[in-house]
Structures are given as structure tokens and as C-alpha cells.
Amino acid sequence: MKNTYSRSLSKKKVMSTDGMLIGMIKNILVDLDTGLVIDLVVKPDPTFDTGGYTMDGDRMFIPFEAVKDIKDYIVVDRYLSKK
């Protein structure tokens, strides 16, 4: 089991499993009733094509289910990250 402090995630880059830079993490959405982590709020990189992703203005939502691992980068599954 791996635990991470949420503050340590800020300013981390989000990368997809095919090696593409998606963007920079801005926030995390949680459900306080169930205690589940729902989404990552990401500011997409200008070079990244946001087609197919859930957007709100210039912010992009990536379901936390897509997160593979968190070390120096946050690695998300390229298929699961679209919903």
C-alpha cells in the first residue's frame, strides 16, 4: 500500500502510459462522504490534444482510476483517462 501526501502532488507533471506529457496537476477532487478520490484536475500542456477528455474551461479532469503510479511523474493509463 502506497500513501502519498496530497501537497506533495502539487506541481507534478502528468504523463500518459504512451509517454505523452498531458499537463500539470492543479487539484484533486474527492468525495468526502465515501472517502474516495474521484478525479485529478489537470492543466493541459499546450501541445496536448484534449479531444475526448472531460473539460471545464481550461481544466481537464482525469479519473483517478486511470492513475498507474505516482513517483516523479503521475502516470495515467491512456485508455482509462478518457471517460
Partner 1 sequence: MKTQVTELFGMQVYTEKAIRVGEVDDLVLDVDGKKIDSLAVGNLNPELMELKGFRGVRIPYRTIRSIGDIVIVRHLSGAFKRTGVE
Report the interface residues with partner 1, using CB under 8 A: 1-7, 9, 27-39, 41, 64-65, 67, 69-70
User: Who contacts 39 (Cβ-Cβ below 8 Å, separation ≥6)?
Assistant: 28, 29, 61, 62, 63, 64
Give the DSSP letter of residue 12: -
**Closer by beta carbon to partner 1, 3 or else 47:** 3
Tell me the closest approach of the beta carbon of residue 78 to partner 1, in angstroms. Answer: 18
Q: How many Cβ atoms are within 10 Å of 49's Cβ, its own excluded?
A: 8
**Closer by beta carbon to partner 1, 21 or else 28:** 28
**Closer by beta carbon to partner 1, 32 or else 49:** 32
